[in-house]
Amino acid sequence: MATLVYDFTQGNKDQKALLGGKGANLAEMTRLGLPVPPGFTITTDACREYLRTGTEPAGLADEVTAHLRRLERQMGRRLGDPDDPLLVSVRSGAAFSMPGMMETILDIGLNDRSVYGLAAQRGESEHSAWDSYRRLIEMFGRTVFGVDFDRARPSVDDPRELVASYQKVFREHTGREFPQDPREQLDLAVRAVFESWNSERATLYRRQERIPAHLGTAVNVMAMVFGNLGEDSGTGVAFTRDPATGERGVYGDYLQNAQGEDVVAGIRNTVPLQDLARLDPASYAELLHHMTVLENHYRDLCDIEFTIEHGKLWMLQTRVGKRTAAAAFVIASQLVDEGLIDLDEALARITGAQLAQLMFPAFEIRPGVRAIASGIGASPGAAVGRVAFDSGRATALAAGGDRVILVRRETNPDDLPGMIAAQGVLTSRGGKTSHAAVVARGMGKTCVCGAEELEVDAARRELTVGGRVVREADVLSIDGTSGKVYLGELPVAPSPVVRYFEGERAPATDRLVAAVHRMLTHADTRRRLGVRANADTGTDAARARRFGAEGVGLCRTEHMFLGDRRPLVERLILASDDRERELALAGLLPLQQADFEEIFRAMDGVPVTIRLLDPPLHEFLPSLEELAVKVGVAEALGKDPGSDLALLAAVRRMHEANPMLGLRGVRLGLVVPGLFAMQVRAIVRAAVAHRDAGGDPKAEIMVPLVGAVQELETVRAEAEKLVAELGDGLPVRIGTMIEVPRAALTAGEIAHAADFFSFGTNDLTQMGWGFSRDDVEGAFFSRYLELGIFGMSPFESIDRAGIGRMIRIAVDEGRAARPDLHIGVCGEHGGDPDSVRFFHEAGLDYVSCSPYRVPIARLEAGRAAVAGSASDTR
Ligand code: ADP
Ligand code: MG
Ligand code: MG
C-alpha cells in the first residue's frame, strides 16, 4: 500500500486531493519556513479505505506511531507524559473546503495524571490546564461518542469540578470511563474524523455544493499551541484583503487569552486585528510579514488562522480565501496591477455566475438592520412582499395588487400558482435541490430555502422566529443571494454594474465597475464565440446592444400577435374563406413591418435573426373552459351567444392534447396559407425601408421546429421568391432552428437548405428527454436532483452527454455538408456559464441570450477561450 501518513515537511500545496486542503497548505507553509506547529497528515486514501472496509487500513497504526515518535522528539515531549505532556489536535480537512462540516478535536493527550503535569508547567495559569481537559472531554465525547453535555453545565466555576462533572456525564452516556490512554484517544479521534465525512450535514453540504461523495477527508495531527495562557497569548483570524470588497489592508479579528475555537464559535467579543499592533507589536509585524509572503506565494487572497503563545506567533491554517462576487472582480484586477497575475489568469479567477450576482438589485442594508433568520440563497434577487402561508392566499393577495412572499415549510406541486403569483418564495426546510429552489430558479424568482429558525405554522397563518411572530400580510424582505430574511420593507438599490452597462456610470466611478469593465474588455479580445441577444422589441434590442450584443440571435414574432392585435389574429384563425384571411393578414402586415423596422434601427449593421411564428394557434385564442362557460351561461339565460359560438367551435377544433408537440412552428406555416408569406413580406419591406433611410439592415429569416429538410425547402422556396420580388437585391439569409431531435440527426441533409443553424436548446431538451418543462419542474425534478439522476436541471445547464451529443452531431454533419454554415444557439442555455463553455468547445459561432445575460456570456466566452492556458481554481 502507498504511504498513508505524510509529515508537514513532506507535502505541498498541490497535493490537496491526497492531503486535503488544510494538510496541503500546512505543508506548504512549513516549506516556506513559516512557524507552523509540527505535525503530520493522514491521507484521504486512508480515509477512503477505512470507509470502504470499516477498519483502519493495514500499516496505518505503524506509520502513525513512527510519525508520532518523530513529533515527540521534535517537541521534546511525550504524548501522555505525566510531567510535561505533548498535546495534539486532530483536524479534518478535505480536498474541497467544507467549513464547519466535519470534526476537530483539540488537546488530545490529557488524562487524570497528565493534567497535573500540565498544570504544574503552567504555573500561575494552572486552571487553564483543567479548562483544556474539560474541553477535551467535551469535544471528544461529542465527536466520538455523540455525548450530549448540555446537562453538565452546572453553576460550578472550579474547572476541576467541571472536569468531574463532564466525566460523569461521559460515563453515564457511554457506559465507560473517559479513555486515559492517549494513544487510544488519538486513534478514536482519527476514526471519528474519518466517519464525520459521512455525517448527515456533511453529506447534505456536499450534495448542495456538488462535491463528489467518494473523496474522503484527510486527518491532520498537530502539536497544540496555546492562546489561553494569559495576556501575552491569544488567537485570531486574518485576511490579506477584505473578503467583502477586495480592498487592500489588514482585516481580521483577534481575541486575547483564548483558543482558536473561541473565535470561530463567536463565544467572546473579538477586537479588530489592527489592535494587535498595540497589544503585541512584534507578533503583529511578524504576522503582516507572513501575510505578504503568503499573498505573493499564492498570488491570491489568503485567509489565515493563527495563535500567539506567550508572545510567540504560530500559523495554524491558511487557504485561498472565499470572497464575495464583488471582491472577486476587484481582487483579480488588483493582482494584475500588482504584477502577480496576468489578465488571462485574472479572467480564470472570476466567473459568469459571480457577474450574474452583481447584476441583481440588492437591498440597502442600513446600520443596525438585522436579519431575523437566514437560510440558503437558492435563487438570487431581492424580493419584498406580504406574507402568504398558502398558494390560495398568495394568489388572492397578488390579485388584489399586493406583492407577495409565499412562505411554506416546504413547497410541493400544489403550490405552483402561489409561486407564480409571488415575488419570492421562503421555506424553512430543504436545500438547493428542494422543490421550492428548483422551481423558483426555473421561473427566475427570488428564493430563500431551508431557513430553519423559522417555525412555520400554515394552519394558524403565522410563523415564529426568535420569539417574534409574523402573521399573514405582514411584510418581509428576502435576499436570494445571501439567504437572509428581514422584517419589513428594505429599500432596494439598483446594481451599479447594470448602471454601467446602461451607460449611466463611467467605468472609473468605482473600483468594482472599473474591474468589471476591465475583465469584460479583456474577455472580448479573447473570445471566439460571438454574443447576440434574444430581443423582440426595439427597446430590448437597444438595451442588448448597450450590454454588448453583436446582433439579435432570436427575435420572436409571437408577441406581435398579442395585445390589441388579438382581434386581427382571431379573424385570421377564424377566417372561413381566402378573402377574409387575406384581409386579416393585410391588417397585420404593416404592424409587423413597423416592429421590425424598429429592431433594424437598434441593430444597424449587425445581424437580426427573425423567427417566423412558432407557438400553437390556440395560444392566441381565449381559453376553452372560459369560453364554454360563457356560452353555456348565455344559453341558459336565453341570450344569444353571438360570435362566441363560432369562436367556441374554432377553439374546440384547435384544441390539442399536447400542444408542445402539435400544430406549431413550420407546421403552422405550411397549414395556414399566407401566414409565413406575410411575415417574410414584413421583414423584407422593413429591411428595405431601413436601407432606403440610409441604414444597413442585416436580416436573417429563421424557420422554427423543422424536423425534415423538405419542410425547410418548401418554406425557403416561397421566401426566396418574395425576397427576390421585394428585396431589390437585398441579401437575406434563410436558416433554421435545430430543436427537434430529428433535425439534429439529419443536419447533414438540412444544411443543404439552410444558410445557418440556431439550436433551440429548450425544445431540444424537452424533446430529447421526452418531458415538458412546464410539467416536470414542479412535479419531479427535485426528486431527480436528490437522487442524483442529474446534477443540475437540464433546462438550467446543457446536458452534455445527451442533448450535447445531438448538438455535436448536428455541428459536425451540418458543417461537413456545408463548410460555411453559420451556427449559433438561441435557447436559454446561451446565457448559462457552463453551457457557454460547452458551446465554445462544440465549435459554435455565437450564442444568443436575454439582454441581461449578454455580459455574462461575453465573460464566459472569454474564459472558455483562455481555459487551458490558465489554471481555473474556483
Ligand atoms: P475548521 O476546519 O472547522 O476550521 P480547524 O481544524 O481549523 O477546524 O480547528 C478549529 C480551531 O481549532 C482552529 O481555529 C484552530 O485555531 C484550533 N486549533 C486546531 N489545531 C490547533 C493546534 N494544534 N493548536 C492550537 N489550536 C488549534
Ligand atoms: Mg479552521
Ligand atoms: Mg422552440
Residue type, 169: V
pTM: 0.87
**Number of the ligand 1 atom closest to the C-alpha atom of 102:** 3
pLDDT of residue 194: 96
Angle of the 566-574 helix axis to the 578-602 helix axis, nearest 10: 140
- The span from the CA of 768 to the CA of 761, in Å, is 10
φ/ψ of 832, rounded to 5, equals: -90, 125
**Residue-by-residue DSSP string for 674-733:** THHHHHHHHHHHHHHHHHHTT---EEEEEE-S--SHHHHHHHHHHHHHHHHHHSTT---E
Q: How far does the centroid of ligand 3 lie from the alpha carbon of residue 529, in Å?
A: 22
Instruction: Decide which of 803 and 620 is more confident.
Output: 803
441 exposed, middle or buried (CB, 10 Å; 0-12, 13-18, 19+)? buried
Is 435 marked active-site? Answer: yes
Neighbouring CB atoms inside 10 A of 834's CB total 17
Which bound ligand lies closest to the C-alpha atom of 103? 1
Angle of the 127-145 helix axis to the 159-174 helix axis, nearest 10: 20
> Residue written as cell 483562455?
866
Which bound ligand lies closest to the C-alpha atom of 761? 3
What Cα–Cα distance (Å) separates residue 108 from each residue in 78, 199, 443, 751?
A: 12, 22, 51, 71
* Residue from 79, 135, 140, 317 to probe ligand 1 pocket by mutation (most atoms less than 8 Å from CB): 317
Question: What are the grid coordinates assigned to 478, written together?
Answer: 428576502
Q: How far does the centroid of ligand 2 lie from the alpha carbon of residue 265, in Å?
A: 11
**Number of the ligand 1 atom closest to the C-alpha atom of 104:** 6
**Number of the ligand 1 atom closest to the C-alpha atom of 37:** 23
**Residue-by-residue DSSP string for 735-752:** EEEE-SHHHHHTHHHHGG
Neighbouring CB atoms inside 10 A of 869's CB total 11
Give the confidence band of 154 by pLDDT, cuts at 50, 70, 90: low
Please tell me whether residue 404 adopts helix, strand or coil conformation: strand
55 exposed, middle or buried (CB, 10 Å; 0-12, 13-18, 19+)? exposed
pLDDT of residue 624: 86
- The span from the CA of 720 to the CA of 706, in Å, is 17
Would you say residue 85 has pLDDT above 60? yes
**Number of the ligand 1 atom closest to the C-alpha atom of 226:** 25
pLDDT in tens, 361-417: 999 988 889 999 999 998 989 999 999 999 999 999 999 999 999 999 999 888 989
Give the confidence band of 126 by pLDDT, cuts at 50, 70, 90: confident
2: CB partners within 8 A, 6+ apart: 43, 45
Which bound ligand lies closest to the C-alpha atom of 143? 1
- For the residues 776-790, what does the mean pLDDT come to? 82
φ/ψ of 327, rounded to 5, equals: -65, -35
* Residue from 71, 131, 264 to probe ligand 1 pocket by mutation (most atoms less than 8 Å from CB): 264
Instruction: Give percent of the chain above pLDDT 90.
Output: 74
307, β-bridge pairs: 235, 314
Q: How far does the centroid of ligand 2 lie from the alpha carbon of residue 812, in Å?
A: 50
pLDDT in tens, 477-487: 999 989 999 99
- The span from the CA of 634 to the CA of 388, in Å, is 36
Ligand 1 atom 20, closest CA: 89
* Options 690, 826, 829, 849, the catalytic residue: 826
pLDDT in tens, 52-71: 999 999 999 999 999 999 99
Sheet architecture: strand order including 404-408: 373-374, 484-487, 475-479, 382-388, 404-408, 424-427, 446-449, 376-379
Lowest mean pLDDT across 192-196, 304-308, 433-437: 433-437
**Residue-by-residue DSSP string for 281-314:** HHHHHHHHHHHHHHHHHHTS-EEEEEEEETTEEE
Question: What are the grid coordinates assigned to 793, written together?
Answer: 436541471
CB 191 within 8 A of CB 50: yes
pLDDT of residue 680: 97
* Residue from 305, 313, 319 to probe ligand 1 pocket by mutation (most atoms less than 8 Å from CB): 305
Torsion of CA 638, 639, 644, 648, to 10 degrees: 0
Question: What are the grid coordinates assigned to 769, written together?
Answer: 428527454
- The span from the CA of 565 to the CA of 9, in Å, is 76
Neighbouring CB atoms inside 10 A of 154's CB total 9
* Options 290, 435, 618, 690, the catalytic residue: 435
CB 218 within 8 A of CB 39: no
Angle of the 578-602 helix axis to the 675-692 helix axis, nearest 10: 40
Residues at CB less than 6 angstroms from ligand 1: 37, 89, 91, 100, 104, 106, 222-225, 235, 259-261, 264, 305, 307, 316-317
Would you say residue 266 has pLDDT above 70? no
Ligand 1 atom 3, closest CA: 100
- The span from the CA of 479 to the CA of 383, in Å, is 7
Is 127 marked active-site? Answer: no
- The span from the CA of 481 to the CA of 359, in Å, is 11
Q: Which residues surround ligand 2, an ion (CB under 5 A)?
A: 317
pLDDT of residue 492: 94
What Cα–Cα distance (Å) separates residue 842 from each residue in 466, 711, 828, 854?
A: 52, 26, 17, 19
- The span from the CA of 417 to the CA of 826, in Å, is 28
Q: How far does the centroid of ligand 2 lie from the alpha carbon of residue 317, in Å?
A: 6
- ∠ CA 428-429-435, nearest 5°, is 115
Which bound ligand lies closest to the C-alpha atom of 764? 3
93, β-bridge pairs: 218
- The span from the CA of 167 to the CA of 548, in Å, is 67
- The span from the CA of 264 to the CA of 134, in Å, is 19
Ligand 1 atom 19, closest CA: 89
CB 565 within 8 A of CB 591: yes
- For the residues 542-564, what does the mean pLDDT come to? 91
φ/ψ of 406, rounded to 5, equals: -85, 120
344 exposed, middle or buried (CB, 10 Å; 0-12, 13-18, 19+)? middle
φ/ψ of 716, rounded to 5, equals: -65, -45
> Residue written as cell 450535447?
804
DSSP classification of residue 177: P
pLDDT in tens, 190-234: 999 999 999 888 887 787 677 888 999 999 999 999 998 889 999
Q: Which helix (H) or strand (E) holds 449?
A: strand 446-449
Q: How far does the centroid of ligand 2 lie from the alpha carbon of residue 33, in Å?
A: 20
Sheet architecture: strand order including 302-309: 271-272, 248-256, 234-241, 302-309, 312-320
Q: How far does the centroid of ligand 2 lie from the alpha carbon of residue 305, in Å?
A: 7
Would you say residue 841 has pLDDT above 50? yes
- For the residues 131-142, what does the mean pLDDT come to? 93
Neighbouring CB atoms inside 10 A of 443's CB total 17
Q: How far does the centroid of ligand 3 lie from the alpha carbon of residue 379, in Å?
A: 25
- The span from the CA of 170 to the CA of 192, in Å, is 16
Question: What are the grid coordinates assigned to 531, written together?
Answer: 454574443
**Residue-by-residue DSSP string for 26-85:** HHHHHHTT-----EEEE-HHHHHHHHHHSSPPTTHHHHHHHHHHHHHHHHT-EET-SSSE
Which bound ligand lies closest to the C-alpha atom of 237? 1
pLDDT of residue 873: 39
**Number of the ligand 1 atom closest to the C-alpha atom of 39:** 23
Q: How far does the centroid of ligand 3 lie from the alpha carbon of residue 820, in Å?
A: 24
What Cα–Cα distance (Å) separates residue 153 from each residue in 216, 828, 871?
A: 34, 56, 50
Ligand 1 atom 8, closest CA: 104
Q: What is the 3-state secondary structure (H, E, C) of 779-818?
A: HCHHHHHHCCCCCCCCCCCCCCCCHHHHHHHHHHHHHHHC
Give the confidence band of 871 by pLDDT, cuts at 50, 70, 90: very low
Would you say residue 852 has pLDDT above 70? yes
Q: How far does the centroid of ligand 3 lie from the alpha carbon of residue 742, in Å?
A: 14
CB 847 within 8 A of CB 531: yes
| CA-closest candidate to residue 98, choices 224, 201, 239 | 201
> Residue written as cell 444557439?
825
Q: How many CA atoms lie within 13 A of 459 on its CB side?
A: 0
* Residue from 101, 102, 106 to probe ligand 1 pocket by mutation (most atoms less than 8 Å from CB): 106
Instruction: Decide which of 418 and 872 is more confident.
Output: 418
pLDDT in tens, 341-351: 999 999 999 99
CB 366 within 8 A of CB 388: no
